[in-house]
Amino acid sequence: MSLPHTVQPTPDRAVARHPAWLPPEAFGPLGIRSALVCGTGPLVDTVVEELTRAGTRYGGRVHRHARAGAVELVLALTGADPLPPVAARLAGEVAGTLGAEGFLLDRSGHVPVLLADTPAGLLYGLFHLVRLGGSAFDLHPVERHRPALDRRMLDHWDNVDVHPVMGQVERGYAGGSIFWRDGAARNEPDRIREYGRLLAACGVNAITVNNVNVHATEARLLTDRLGDVAAIADLLRPYAVRVHLSVTFAAPVVLGGLPTADPLDDRVRAWWATATRQVYDRIPDFGGYVVKADSEGQPGPFTYGRDHADGANLLAGALAPFGGVVHWRAFVYNHRQDWRDRTTDRARAAYDHFAPLDGRFRDNVIVQVKHGPIDFQAREPVSPVLAAMPATRLAVEVQVTQEYTGQQRHVCYLGPWWSELLGFTPWGPQGRTVADIAAGAGRTGTGAGGGRTGTGAGAGRTDTGAAGGRTLPGGGLVGVANVGADPFWTGHPLAQANLYAFGRLGWDPRLDPRAVLDEWIGLTFPPSTTGDPALVRRTLHEIMDDSWRTYERYTAPLGVGFMVNPRDHYGPGVDGYEYSPWGTYHFADRDGVGVDRTRATGTGFTGQYPCPWAERYESVEQCPDELLLFFHHVPYDHVLRSGSTVIQHIYDTHFAGVEQVKTMRQRWQRLAGLVDAAVHARVSGLLEEQLRCAREWRDQINTYFFRKSGVPDTHSRPIH
Ligand code: GCU
């Protein structure tokens, strides 16, 4: 029977890919209900489509008319007219207070009522209900949700052409690009739509579709290949995901035929204005540009004797009339360093280049700062730039793709790490967190240099990052994407959890990463699909909760970083970068190891931090163990705060790390027959590789340091 105002069921879309955290079973509790959706617009249509799909499978119905019969679930825009009585009074009370992406969940009698001021809020609310599952229908207090960070963006390092060295996806470990193949758009709309669903369901609201290293073909996405970008934007729009483009700073020369890309040249300004207007003509909700300039060979304003504020403001000026932003990366350093030169310290570079520019960036510039001062190592201190630019919108950039954390061949759940990062307080325990900085909360913004009381390298600075002056929005959280054309999306099926956690922590950085993992487990392995839900849940926690620290244990010790094979960055290469131009050295000799970055005797990098961290990092006694070798060069018999010597710590952690991987492998075997066979087989195979690689790390690192130091392991375990 077909009812007026009732959406007809549509068949499930055939998608031959792993459903990740949106398997049909996750919608079961909503799918059996009779739901009412009030409101109009493409995103509301997406909500209806999701519920209809669930209803088709589980027998529920979706109504679009407020006077439908008995309903068991209401999702409504506060401004929808008419609203059913169960929602009307509440909507009257809260309308206009829920925010651009927020929502409210209340009960009217036993009927859950989800209200949002905007269609995006309704969509996020729907996925909240999916997370709640059956408990959405239990009585509990009213919940209000809105994201802490407005911008939650994934940067795809995808190339349109296959790059001779970096391939289709730079630092991609999940097969080809989901957008591009061999120089052309991949043209698989279902795949992109499914990706959009997954992003919306974890809270990601923006992506870039191409690599920050912009090669010749990719440069043209801005102009004659713009249609390809528009097609992706059309597919992702129904999931509230805005599309951005990485552009080359040299575009006016390489695309426009101008003799210069000087940011202060009027012809250059006019070229960017025209190109940008054409982008918005085609993609009215285009998000903006991402730029890697004067970095690792990419062109930038230095060529013209200009600085990064000049460069960023040029693009910001072109984007401003349309509400777009430019993400300007702070990853600027000398990658042609002479290793003999002990005065140049790559860790200092981003601060030295950018902190003096604070206050000079236009409001639609977001300076995008890698979380650590060097380059996505498994352990680095938090970048001091994040505390040094109170008058600038800052985004924190992390790597969801596991370039330096096992390349999606190793289990390495990154949620605990990002949680630590986002909760870090650069001005000490009472001050603002990194998440506050990314959110723009309490930002100063008093114009040039506003709010900073220190000078020079920042030594002795007393500012607290407290508010004052005009308020700037935050720059948000940015992650380098980890998905590809692999049937599991992420190569390692358990690496899906990192993408999920990225979105969820961007939405609410205070979430407990174990609780986020728990959500992911519940959605990805719904109880109805596993033989023993409690065992599956417990085992995945045992394997994943501490897996980042396990990875850290068997790889580079105590924050020293970069003991990887050059180029592919996989597996141990202790001296792989020691005599290279990249500025990533450990300085191990027969007596000790580590980089002296103190003010007293080293490169002075510790002075880039405000109090109290400048003092803590400067002091060899107070420096946290896990960062000791990042900040200090110490003898092998130096006693850590843990009570162990450096050399014994290296041996102990490397032996322990491998044992932990063996335990992971045993635990995973318990799940044979309890989870999807293809997932089980893929993870089993990868755990073999993780164990092989962990052993290689253990033996090379231990042997290297034994040979350098001559100090034996106190437990006489095999070292070669
Ligand atoms: C790392 C990575 C590069 C990438 C760069 C960046 O250095 O190895 O492939 O281009 O980061 O963040 O731009």
Distance 259 CA to ligand 1 centre (A): 29
> Could you read off the pLDDT of 9-57 as tens digits, one per residue?
333 333 368 999 999 999 999 999 999 999 999 999 999 999 999 999 9
Distance 221 CA to ligand 1 centre (A): 21
- 333 Cβ closer than 6 Å to some ligand 1 atom: no
Q: What is the pLDDT of residue 522?
A: 97
Of 283, 286, 226, nearest in space to 251 by CA: 226
- 371 Cβ closer than 6 Å to some ligand 1 atom: no
Q: What is the pLDDT of residue 21?
A: 98
Q: What is the pLDDT of residue 16?
A: 60
* 194: annotated active-site residue: no
User: Best substitution site from 403, 564, 565 to test ligand 1's pocket, by max atoms within 8 Å of Cβ?
Assistant: 403
Q: What is the pLDDT of residue 462?
A: 35
* 5 pLDDT tier (thresholds 50, 70, 90): very low
- Helix, strand, or coil here: 108? strand
| Mean pLDDT on 69-91 | 93
Distance 518 CA to ligand 1 centre (A): 31
Q: What is the pLDDT of residue 445?
A: 40
* 463: annotated active-site residue: no
Distance 17 CA to ligand 1 centre (A): 29
> Could you read off the pLDDT of 142-192 as tens digits, one per residue?
999 999 999 999 999 999 999 999 999 999 999 999 999 999 999 899 999
Distance 516 CA to ligand 1 centre (A): 28
Q: What is the pLDDT of residue 319?
A: 98
> Could you read off the pLDDT of 297-335 as tens digits, one per residue?
999 999 999 999 999 999 999 999 999 999 999 999 999
Element (H, E) at 312: helix 308-319
> Could you read off the pLDDT of 186-221 as tens digits, one per residue?
989 999 999 999 999 999 999 999 999 999 999 999
Task: For residue 212, give the ligand 1 atom closest to its CA.
Answer: 13
> Could you read off the pLDDT of 666-682 as tens digits, one per residue?
999 999 999 999 999 99
Q: What is the pLDDT of residue 65?
A: 87
d(CA 563, CA 62): 56
> Which is higher by pLDDT, 463 or 584?
584
Task: Delineate the domains of the chain, giving CATH numbers in brackets.
Answer: 24-145 (3.30.379.10), 152-524 (3.20.20.80)
Percent of the chain at pLDDT above 90? 90
| Mean pLDDT on 116-134 | 97
- 652 Cβ closer than 6 Å to some ligand 1 atom: no
Which one is catalytic: 106, 375, 436, 626?
Answer: 375
- 146 Cβ closer than 6 Å to some ligand 1 atom: no
pLDDT at 464 over 60: no
Count the alpha carbons within 13 Å of 583 in the hemisphere toward its beta carbon: 18
- 292 Cβ closer than 6 Å to some ligand 1 atom: yes
- 654 Cβ closer than 6 Å to some ligand 1 atom: no
Task: For residue 171, give the ligand 1 atom closest to its CA.
Answer: 9
pLDDT at 489 over 80: yes
- 414 Cβ closer than 6 Å to some ligand 1 atom: no
* 448 pLDDT tier (thresholds 50, 70, 90): very low
| Mean pLDDT on 431-441 | 95
> Could you read off the pLDDT of 359-403 as tens digits, one per residue?
999 999 999 999 999 999 999 999 999 999 999 999 999 999 999
Phi, psi (deg, nearest 5) at residue 324: -85, 165
d(CA 463, CA 319): 33
Q: What is the pLDDT of residue 459?
A: 35
Q: By alpha-carbon position, which residue is closest to atom 7 of ligand 1? A: 375
Token pair, residue 1, equals 């029977």
Task: For residue 170, give the ligand 1 atom closest to its CA.
Answer: 9
Work out whether strand 158-163 and strand 143-145 pair parallel, antiparallel, or are unpaired: unpaired
| Mean pLDDT on 466-485 | 84
Cα angle at 377 between 350 and 208, to 5 degrees?
A: 70
> Could you read off the pLDDT of 675-703 as tens digits, one per residue?
999 999 999 999 999 999 999 999 999 99
Q: What is the pLDDT of residue 69?
A: 76
Q: Which residues contact 716 (CB under 8 A, 6 or more apart)?
A: none
Q: By alpha-carbon position, which residue is closest to atom 11 of ligand 1? A: 375
pLDDT at 591 over 70: yes
> Could you read off the pLDDT of 259-284 as tens digits, one per residue?
999 999 999 999 999 999 999 999 99
Element (H, E) at 706: helix 677-709
User: Best substitution site from 166, 168, 169, 171 to test ligand 1's pocket, by max atoms within 8 Å of Cβ?
Assistant: 171
> Could you read off the pLDDT of 512-539 as tens digits, one per residue?
999 999 999 999 999 989 989 999 999 9
pLDDT at 70 over 90: no
Phi, psi (deg, nearest 5) at residue 293: -125, 145
Q: By alpha-carbon position, which residue is closest to atom 1 of ligand 1? A: 375
Phi, psi (deg, nearest 5) at residue 107: -125, 145
User: pTM of the predicted model, to two decimals?
Assistant: 0.94
* 470 pLDDT tier (thresholds 50, 70, 90): low
Task: Please give the single-letter amino acid code of residue 644.
Answer: S
* 375: annotated active-site residue: yes
d(CA 707, CA 445): 53
Which one is catalytic: 25, 155, 397, 403?
Answer: 403
Q: By alpha-carbon position, which residue is closest to atom 2 of ligand 1? A: 171
- 358 Cβ closer than 6 Å to some ligand 1 atom: no
Q: What is the pLDDT of residue 110?
A: 85
The mean pLDDT value of the chain amounts to 93
Distance 292 CA to ligand 1 centre (A): 10
pLDDT at 502 over 50: yes
Q: 3-26: string of b/e by CB count within 10 Å (b at 16+)?
A: eeebbebeeeeeeeebbbbbbbbb
User: Best substitution site from 168, 290, 375 to test ligand 1's pocket, by max atoms within 8 Å of Cβ?
Assistant: 375
Distance 586 CA to ligand 1 centre (A): 20
